[in-house]
Amino acid sequence: MFVFKKKNVIILALCIIAVLTVSLGSYFIQVNANRPIYDFTIVIDAGHGGIDGGVVGYSGETKESDINLEYALCLESYFKSLNINVVQTRKTKDGLYGAFSSNKKIDDMKKREQIIDEANADIVISIHQNGYILPDQRGICAFFNPNVQTSQDLATYMQDVFKENLDNARQEALAGDYFILNCTDRTSVLIECGFLTNPDDEKLLNTTEYKEKLCYTIFSAVVGYLIENTQLQIFKDESVVEN
């Protein structure tokens, strides 16, 4: 069981499949995961895929596209434990382009944009792994489109959670010029989970324990952010009791 803290927000997993308990300020909130609680959709985007393998790990054996998919599927399981609707841009190792596509990269990215729009996504989370020419860089970082205020707000909130709960997290969320962030004005973040070009990060990212911890941290950060914003006003109906 992991305990995650963000200032006055504490989120802990207590039989996560059944009940999520959140302590927020003077409120104690219990969410019964056996019933749908929102009309809310999160699109999870596993970056790269198919012929586009992304970053290659320090060892030469880890392919970013494979790690991204594993983390995206793990993250989905946490959101679904609260009956939050999740749409994945890809569920297999294949890219999102046709066999006879003349420009597979462009077609792949346009398909991701189409999925986000058709899902009417409330939040988009794109999962990636970082790389650098030198092996000394490491740590998770959230990126945002600076032209979308809610994206910057979410990424900043998430990075604070990362710093408090994950070793070597970067100091602040950063603006990023990425297609997946620029293709929509919806609340979107791109998360570089770590540097595959760093041997310690690569080893860590390949472990099941760290995958589950990191994905639960992302999940907790999103839930904490939503509780502090109007999207989860529904929580303040019958299920909230003042301490």
pLDDT digits (tens, 9 = 90+) for 25-68: 322 334 444 444 557 899 999 999 999 999 999 999 999 999 99
| Separation CA 162–CA 139 (nearest Å) | 9
Q: How do the residues of the chain divide into helix, strand and coil, expressed in percent and rounded to 5?
A: 35, 25, 40
Q: Of 87 and 38, which is predicted with more confidence?
A: 87
Q: Which residue has the tokens 């999207």?
A: 231
Residue 240: CB partners within 8 Å, gap ≥ 6? 27, 28, 29
pLDDT digits (tens, 9 = 90+) for 134-148: 999 999 999 999 999
Terminal-residue alpha carbon distance, the chain: 24
Reported as a pLDDT band with limits 50, 70 and 90, residue 213 is very high
Task: Fold for 36-230, please state it.
Answer: Aminopeptidase (3.40.630)
Map out the domains of the chain as residue ranges: 36-230
pLDDT at 230: 56
pLDDT digits (tens, 9 = 90+) for 199-208: 999 999 999 9
| Separation CA 48–CA 201 (nearest Å) | 19
- Is pLDDT above 90 for 21? no
**What average pLDDT does the chain have?**
83
Q: How many Å is the Cα radius of gyration of the chain?
A: 18
